[in-house]
A = this chain, B = another copy of it.
Amino acid sequence: MADESREETTCDRREFFQAGAFGVAGAVVAGGASNTPDDSADVAAREAETKAAATRGGGRAWPDRPEGWWRHQNAVLPPSEAPAQEIREVELDIQIIKHEIVPGYSFHVLAFNGQVPGPELRFREGEWVKVYFTNRTELMHTIHWHGVDLQYENDGVPYTTQHPVMPNATFEYTFQAIPAGTRLYHCHFGTPLHMQHAMHGALIIEPEQDPIKEEFGYTRDYTLVLESFATNDARDDLNFMLERMKQRMWLMKEGALDEETLAVFESKETFLAAIDRGWDPPYLPNRNQKRERAAQDYNFFAINGKAYPLTAPIMIRRGETIRVRLINGGGLMHHMHLHGHQFWQVAEDGNVLSSPLQINTISVGPGKTADIIIEGYNPGYWTFHDHDTSRVTNNGMYPGGMLTMLVYEEMDDYDGYHPKIALDE
C-alpha cells in the first residue's frame, strides 16, 4: 500500500537526520541548557547497521508501511540552536495557596502561578520556548515537560538532569515544542506530594496543520485535567517537608549539610560506601516512622481544579463536533464514561492513533493523555464521570468529585427535565 506522499516525508526525515541534526557544541545557556557531543560519523555507522538488520527484505511486521515509517520526525535541538529573536517567553512560579475544591472545603496545595491546575500552556509545534520558573515557596521543585522531546538538561528531574530549584531561585527551561499533541507539565521533586497536590498543568503543542482538525472539523477544543487528592496525607506531608526544609537550610548555612543528612550521593559507589560505613538509609522500617505508609488515602477528586457540583460543563450544539483532551495529573487511573454517545479516541499520549477507537468509557492511567472527539448527535444533559464511582465523591460522599456534564446549548429552550444539584445519595 505504497503512499507516495508518506515516502517523501520519510526521505526528508532521513536526510534531516543524517545531516547532523544533533547540532554542534555551543555556548552554555543560563539555567543548564547545553549541547551533547557530536559524533555523526559514528551515528551514521550505527544507523547503517540498524538499517542493514532491518531491511533484509520480506518478513517485516508491517510490510505495507514504508520503510522507516517509525522513525522520529523532528531532531531534538539543543537550546543553543534557538533563534534568539523568536523565543516565546513564559513566566511560571510556584506558590503555596489554599485551594477551595468545593464550597466550604479548602486545603493547602502547591500551585503553579497560584492556580489549580497550573496555567494551560499552548505552543505552536516547533516554537522555541523559554520558561522562567521562580520558586516562591520554602521547598525545592523542578518542572518536567512530560511527553516533550527536549535536550535532557531541561527535562526537570532533580539529581538526574539538574539540581532542584531552591527557594527564591529562578530556573530557565529552554526547549523546542515538539512533538505536536496533548501533553502535560508537572513537578518532579517529591512527586507523590508535589505533582498531585497540585503541581500539574496542560501543555498543548499545536501542529500547523492538525490532522485531527482536518479529519473532524471540530469547532470547540476542551481540556480536562483529571486530579486526585489525598488531603490529610498531603497536609501532614507538607508540614513535615516544610519543617525538614527549615532544618536543612540551617544545616546548609552552617556548612553541615552532608550527603547522609540530605540522602543525596554523587554516585551509586559513594552511596554503597556510606552503607558500608554503617549509615542507615532513610527507607529502613522504623526510621522516620511518621512517613512510612504504603498508599495514599485519596478523598477528593476534581476536573480542572473543581469537584462536582462546581465542575464546569462541556458545551456543544447539535450537529457540532468537539474535541476533548483528557490529561491525568494524578496518581490513579480514571475510567471516564460519557452518557448518550459513543465517542472516538483519536490520540494517546498526544500522538495520533493509527486505529481510532470508538468507545463510551475511556481508561486513562496516571500521567497519560487521551484526545477524544464527540459528535453532537443527541441533544440533552449528559453526565461524564469516572466509572469507578468511589472517585465521584467529596470526602466519601456521593455524588461529588470527578463528575461533569456535556450540555447541549439547545436545552435552554427545552421544556422538559433540567438538572438539579444533588450532594448526598
6 nearest CB pairs, A to B? A152-B380, A54-B217, A53-B217, A367-B387, A283-B394, A61-B211
A377:B76 contact, CB within 8 angstroms: yes
Chain A residues numbered 238-286 whose CB sits less than 8 Å from any CB in chain B: 262-268, 270-272, 275, 280-285
Interface assignment of A126: CB less than 8 Å from any CB of chain B: no
9-residue interface stretch from A83-91, A112-120, A130-138, A352-360: A352-360
Question: What are the interface flags for A115-150 relative to B under an 8 Å C-beta threshold, 1 for contact and 0 otherwise?
Answer: 000000000000000000000000010001011011
Residues on B with C-beta less than 8 A from A149 are: 340-342, 377-378
Instruction: Choose among B160, B195, B291, B356 the residue that contacts A397 (Cβ–Cβ < 8 A).
Output: B291
Within the complex, the shortest CB–CB distance from A361 to chain B, in Å, comes to 5
Question: What are the interface flags for A389-425 relative to B under an 8 Å C-beta threshold, 1 for contact and 0 otherwise?
Answer: 1101111111110000100101101111101111111
Told that A161-B417, A188-B383 touch, could you supply 7 new A-B pairs with CB distance under 8 A? A46-B319, A70-B356, A104-B283, A157-B383, A283-B400, A295-B297, A351-B359
Q: How far is the CA of A396 from the CA of B292 in the complex (A)?
A: 5
Interface assignment of A212: CB less than 8 Å from any CB of chain B: yes
A380:B53 contact, CB within 8 angstroms: no
Interface assignment of A97: CB less than 8 Å from any CB of chain B: no
Knowing A318-B22, A420-B264, say if A410 contacts B352 (CB, 8 Å): no
Q: How far is the CA of A244 from the CA of B117 in the complex (A)?
A: 37
B366:A335 contact, CB within 8 angstroms: yes
Interface assignment of A388: CB less than 8 Å from any CB of chain B: yes
Interface pairs (12), CB distance under 8 Å: A61-B346, A70-B344, A104-B281, A144-B339, A149-B342, A155-B340, A158-B425, A159-B421, A190-B425, A266-B420, A333-B333, A335-B368
Chain A residues numbered 1-37 whose CB sits less than 8 Å from any CB in chain B: 1, 5, 17, 22, 32, 34, 36-37
Q: How far is the CA of A32 from the CA of B219 in the complex (A)?
A: 32
Interface assignment of A39: CB less than 8 Å from any CB of chain B: yes
Residues on B with C-beta less than 8 A from A37 are: 379, 410, 413-414
Knowing A264-B420, A365-B387, A421-B268, say if A381 contacts B317 (CB, 8 Å): no
Main secondary structure of the interface of A (DSSP, over half): loop
Knowing A147-B360, A213-B53, A388-B331, say if A103 contacts B152 (CB, 8 Å): no
Knowing A361-B368, A410-B39, say if A152 contacts B53 (CB, 8 Å): no
B359:A349 contact, CB within 8 angstroms: yes
Question: What are the interface flags for A325-340 relative to B under an 8 Å C-beta threshold, 1 for contact and 0 otherwise?
Answer: 0000001110101011
Interface assignment of A227: CB less than 8 Å from any CB of chain B: no
B387:A217 contact, CB within 8 angstroms: no
Knowing A214-B56, A217-B54, A296-B390, say if A162 contacts B417 (CB, 8 Å): yes
B331:A43 contact, CB within 8 angstroms: no
Q: How far is the CA of A346 from the CA of B359 in the complex (A)?
A: 13
